[in-house]
C-alpha cells in the first residue's frame, strides 16, 4: 500500500509541474513574438500612424487570445489533480493500461477499517501483491519533457530582459502618452531637472527643462494626475535652452514630462502629500452638576464658545484623511499645554476641564505632514457669580419693642442656587465707666431658606432677642450672610448691609410716658364731656316721653342714636384703660415708676 501511495503522490507533483510549465512553455514563443513586435513598433518610423495603431491593436488582441486559451487549458488539465486517489488510479489504468490488481489492493486496504476479519483481508492482499506491477511516475511524466517546457518559458523572458529593459519604459510609454504619433529620431533631447519625489499640499513646484541639440520653437509640459487621469498641458515658447517653471500643487500622485513635436523627456513621478483636515468636529459641554444646566453639543460652525468655569469639554474629531494622530493645543491666561487625543474607531477623543482656558486649536499629523494655519477657537470662561442678598426688614435705626421681637425679611438671588444663610447678631452695651470698652456679645443664627423659582429665595419671620437680656440704651447690629452652591471653587458668600437696632433710652421712655399721659388725660376729658352730653340727651328724651310729645317712630330713632353714642364712649374708655395699663407696665419694666408718676396714673385709673 505504501508503494501505491508514494506513486500517487509523486504523480500528482509531476503532473502539477507539467501543467504549469506546459502552458507557459507552449505559449512563450508566441508571447515573445508579440511583445517584441509591440516594443519595436516605434522604430518603424516609415510606417504611418494608422498602420502602427492597427498593428498594435492586432498584437494586443492576439496576446489576449493566447492568455484566454491558456486559462481554459489550465482549468481542463487541472481536473486530473482534483480526483481522489482511487479515481486517479482508475484514470491511469484506463489511459496507461494498468494492472487491475492495483485497484483491488487499494480497495482491500480500505476493508481493514471495516468489520471484516483482518487476517482474511491481509491474506488476500498478500496474494494479490505477488502479481502487482506499479509503474514509475517518471515513465508517465518524463523529466525531459519538464525540462524542455522550463527552458521554453525562461528563454523568452531572458531575451526580453536583455533586449528591451530600457525600451519598456521609453518606447512603449511614449507610444501611449503621445497617442501613437511617431516621427523620425529627434535632433534634440529634453531633460527635466529639480523634481523631488515628495511635496506637501500647498508647496510650490519648481523645476527646469533643459534642451540640447537644435532647440525647437516651443515645448509642452504635461502633468498627469495618476489617480483621476486628468492631464494638464502647458505650452511654452522657447528663447533659451533652459525653461524654468513653478506652480502651487494640490495633493495626489502625478506624472510629469516635457515634450516637443519630435520627442519627449523621461516621465518623472512625484507625490504631493495631503495635509490632513478635520471633517467633523464635535464639542460636548457638560457644566458642573450643581448648576443643573443641560449638556450642550457644538458642531463644526463656531469660532467662539461661552462656557461656565469648571465645565467638562469632550472633543470628538473625525477626518476622512485618516490621520496618524491628532493633538490639541490650548492656552490658559499665562501658559499653554498640548495633549494627544486618543483614537477610538474612526474618531479621536479627549476631555478637558475649562477653568482658565482662553483658546485652543487642533493639529492633525499624517506621514510627517501636519495642519498648517489651523483655526484658533476662542473661549470665554463665565464665572459663577457671587450671590445677592437684600435685607428688606428691619430698617436701620428701628427701636426694639418690649417683647424683644423684630421682623426679619430677607431676599436672596444666585445664578445657580443658594445653599445656606446665617444671621449675624452683635449686642453692644455702652460702658457706664468712662475709659472701659463696651460690652459686646456676638452670635450666629442659621436661617431657613424658602426656595423659590428662577434662582431666588427668601426668609421671613420674627427674631426673638430675649436671650440677650437687652436693657435701655443697648444697641444690636445685624447682617445676613448667604452662601451659594459653587462646588468647583467652593461656596462663595455675600453679606448684606449692617442694620443697627436700638433699645430706647431712659429719656425716650420717660418722654413717651409723659406724652401718653397727656394724650390719655385729654381722652378722659373728651369721654367725660361725651358722657355729659349723653346724659343730657337721655334727660330730654325722658321728659318728652312723660308729656307725650314724641311719636313712637321718633322715639325709637333718638333712643337708638343715644345708645350708639354711649356704646362708642364705652369703647373709647376701654381703649384708654388698656393704654394706661400698658404705660404702667412700661414704667415697671424700665424701673421708672416714680411717686409723682404713680400719683398721676392712680388719678387716671380713678377717673376711668
Question: What is residue 284's predicted lDDT score, i.e. its pLDDT?
Answer: 92
Instruction: Give SS3 for 208.
Output: strand
Q: Which three cell numbers stand for residue 117?
A: 476479519
Say if CB 558 and CB 543 are below 8 A apart: no
Question: What is residue 167's predicted lDDT score, i.e. its pLDDT?
Answer: 44
Question: What is residue 596's predicted lDDT score, i.e. its pLDDT?
Answer: 55
Question: What is residue 81's predicted lDDT score, i.e. its pLDDT?
Answer: 67
At a CB cut-off of 8 Å and minimum separation 6, what does 533 contact?
A: 565
- How many residues in the chain? 608
DSSP letter at 466? G
The fold of the 280-382 domain, in CATH, is Immunoglobulin-like (2.60.40)
Edge-to-edge strand order for the sheet containing 347-354?
296-298, 280-286, 311-318, 347-354, 342-344
The fold of the 507-607 domain, in CATH, is Methane Monooxygenase Hydroxylase; Chain G, domain 1 (1.20.58)
At a CB cut-off of 8 Å and minimum separation 6, what does 493 contact?
A: 386, 387, 481, 482, 483, 484
Q: How far apart are CA 315 and CA 377, in angstroms?
A: 13
**Omega within 30 of 0 (cis) for the link into 394:** yes
How many Cα atoms occupy the beta-carbon half-sphere of 93 within 13 Å?
Answer: 15
Q: Tell me whether domains 388-503 and 507-607 share a fold.
A: no
The beta strand positions in 321-402, using DSSP E, are 325-331, 336-340, 342-344, 347-354, 359-366, 369-370, 377-382, 388-393
Whether the model clears a pTM of 0.75, i.e. scores above it, the answer is no
Q: Distance of CA 476 to CAs 308, 422, 423, 446, 586, Å?
A: 41, 16, 12, 17, 20
Question: What is residue 298's predicted lDDT score, i.e. its pLDDT?
Answer: 87
Where are the chain's structural domains?
A: 2-98+135-163, 183-273, 280-382, 388-503, 507-607
Q: Which of 510, 512, 442 is nearest to 476 (CA)?
A: 442
Q: How far apart are CA 235 and CA 247, in angstroms?
A: 14
Q: How far apart are CA 89 and CA 295, in angstroms?
A: 77
Say if CB 17 and CB 146 are below 8 A apart: yes
At a CB cut-off of 8 Å and minimum separation 6, what does 92 contact?
A: 11, 98, 140
Q: What is the mean pLDDT of each run of 10 residues along the chain (608 residues)?
A: 62 65 60 62 55 67 71 70 65 62 57 56 55 59 54 56 48 52 67 85 86 88 89 84 78 89 86 88 89 85 84 90 86 79 89 83 87 84 88 89 87 87 92 82 90 76 90 90 88 93 70 58 63 62 56 57 64 62 58 51 52
Question: What is residue 390's predicted lDDT score, i.e. its pLDDT?
Answer: 92
Tens-place pLDDT, residues 297-342: 888 777 888 888 888 999 999 988 888 888 888 887 667 888 888 9
Q: Which three cell numbers stand for residue 268?
A: 518623472
Q: How far apart are CA 71 and CA 416, in angstroms?
A: 80
Instruction: Give SS3 for 218.
Output: strand
Could you tell me which CATH class the domain 183-273 is placed in? mainly beta
Q: Is 388-503 a CATH 2.60.40.10 domain?
A: yes
DSSP letter at 481? E
Pairing of strands 493-495, 405-413: unpaired
Question: What is residue 499's predicted lDDT score, i.e. its pLDDT?
Answer: 94
Question: What is residue 498's predicted lDDT score, i.e. its pLDDT?
Answer: 94
DSSP letter at 171? I
Backbone angles phi, psi at 429, to 5 degrees: -115, 115
* DSSP-assigned beta bridge partners for residue 410: 391, 459
Q: How far apart are CA 327 and CA 348, in angstroms?
A: 9
Amino acid at each position: 500500500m505504501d508503494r501505491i501511495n508514494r506513486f500517487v503522490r509523486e504523480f500528482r507533483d509531476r503532473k502539477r509541474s507539467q501543467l504549469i510549465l506546459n502552458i507557459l512553455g507552449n505559449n512563450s514563443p508566441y508571447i515573445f513574438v508579440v511583445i517584441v513586435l509591440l516594443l519595436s513598433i516605434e522604430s518603424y518610423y516609415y510606417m504611418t500612424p494608422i498602420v502602427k495603431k492597427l498593428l498594435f491593436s492586432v498584437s494586443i488582441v492576439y496576446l489576449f487570445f493566447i492568455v484566454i486559451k491558456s486559462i481554459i487549458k489550465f482549468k481542463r488539465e487541472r481536473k486530473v489533480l482534483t480526483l481522489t486517489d482511487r479515481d486517479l488510479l482508475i484514470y491511469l489504468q484506463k489511459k496507461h493500461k494498468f494492472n487491475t490488481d492495483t485497484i483491488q489492493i487499494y480497495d482491500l486496504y480500505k476493508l481493514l477499517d471495516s468489520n471484516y476479519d483482518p487476517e482474511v483481508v491481509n491474506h488476500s492482499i498478500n496474494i494479490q501483491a505477488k502479481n502487482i506491477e506499479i509503474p514509475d511516475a517518471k515513465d508517465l511524466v518524463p523529466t525531459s519533457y519538464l525540462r524542455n517546457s522550463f527552458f521554453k518559458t525562461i528563454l523568452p523572458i531572458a531575451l526580453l530582459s536583455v533586449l528591451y529593459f530600457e525600451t519598456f519604459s521609453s518606447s512603449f510609454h511614449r507610444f501611449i502618452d503621445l497617442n501613437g504619433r511617431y516621427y523620425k529620431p529627434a535632433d534634440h533631447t529634453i531633460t527635466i531637472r529639480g523634481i523631488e519625489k515628495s511635496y506637501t499640499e500647498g508647496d510650490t513646484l519648481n523645476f527646469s527643462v533643459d534642451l540640447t541639440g537644435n532647440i525647437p520653437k516651443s515645448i509642452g509640459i504635461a502633468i498627469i494626475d495618476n489617480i483621476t487621469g486628468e492631464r494638464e498641458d502647458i505650452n511654452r515658447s522657447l528663447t533659451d535652452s533652459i525653461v524654468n517653471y513653478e506652480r502651487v500643487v494640490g495633493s495626489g500622485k502625478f506624472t510629469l514630462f516635457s515634450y516637443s513635436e519630435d520627442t519627449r523627456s523621461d516621465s518623472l513621478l512625484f507625490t504631493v502629500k495631503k495635509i490632513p483636515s478635520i471633517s467633523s468636529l464635535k464639542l460636548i459641554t457638560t457644566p458642573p452638576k450643581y448648576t443643573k444646566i443641560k449638556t450642550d453639543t457644538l458642531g463644526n460652525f463656531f469660532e467662539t464658545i461661552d462656557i461656565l468655569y469648571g465645565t467638562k469639554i469632550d472633543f470628538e474629531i473625525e477626518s476622512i484623511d485618516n490621520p496618524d494622530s491628532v493633538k490639541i493645543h490650548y492656552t490658559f491666561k499665562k501658559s499653554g499645554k498640548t495633549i494627544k487625543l486618543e483614537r477610538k474607531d474612526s474618531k479621536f477623543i479627549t476631555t478637558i476641564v475649562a477653568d482658565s482656558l482662553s483658546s485652543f486649536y487642533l493639529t492633525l499629523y499624517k506621514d510627517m505632514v501636519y495642519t498648517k494655519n489651523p483655526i484658533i477657537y476662542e473661549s470665554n470662561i463665565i464665572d459663577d457669580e457671587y450671590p445677592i442678598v437684600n435685607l428688606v426688614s428691619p430698617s436701620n435705626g428701628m427701636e426694639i419693642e418690649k417683647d424683644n421681637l423684630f421682623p426679619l425679611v430677607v431676599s436672596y438671588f444666585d445664578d445657580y442656587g443658594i445653599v445656606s444663610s446665617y444671621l449675624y447678631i452683635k449686642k453692644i452695651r455702652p460702658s457706664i465707666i468712662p475709659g472701659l470698652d463696651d460690652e459686646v456679645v456676638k452670635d450666629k443664627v442659621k436661617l431657613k431658606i424658602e426656595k423659590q423659582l428662577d434662582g431666588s429665595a427668601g426668609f421671613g419671620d420674627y427674631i426673638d432677642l430675649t436671650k440677650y437680656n437687652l436693657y435701655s440704651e443697648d444697641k444690636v447690629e445685624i447682617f445676613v450672610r448667604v452662601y451659594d452652591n459653587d462646588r468647583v471653587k467652593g461656596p462663595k458668600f455675600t453679606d448684606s448691609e449692617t442694620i443697627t437696632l436700638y433699645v430706647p433710652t431712659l429719656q425716650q421712655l420717660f418722654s413717651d410716658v409723659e406724652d401718653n399721659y397727656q394724650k390719655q388725660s385729654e381722652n378722659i376729658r373728651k369721654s367725660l364731656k361725651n358722657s355729659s352730653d349723653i346724659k343730657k340727651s337721655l334727660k330730654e328724651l325722658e321728659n318728652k316721653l312723660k308729656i307725650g310729645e314724641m311719636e313712637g317712630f321718633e322715639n325709637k330713632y333718638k333712643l337708638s342714636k343715644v345708645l350708639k353714642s354711649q356704646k362708642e364712649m364705652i369703647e373709647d374708655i376701654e381703649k384708654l384703660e388698656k393704654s394706661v395699663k400698658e404705660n404702667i407696665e412700661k414704667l415697671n419694666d424700665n424701673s421708672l415708676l416714680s411717686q409723682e408718676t404713680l400719683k398721676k396714673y392712680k388719678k387716671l385709673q380713678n377717673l376711668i
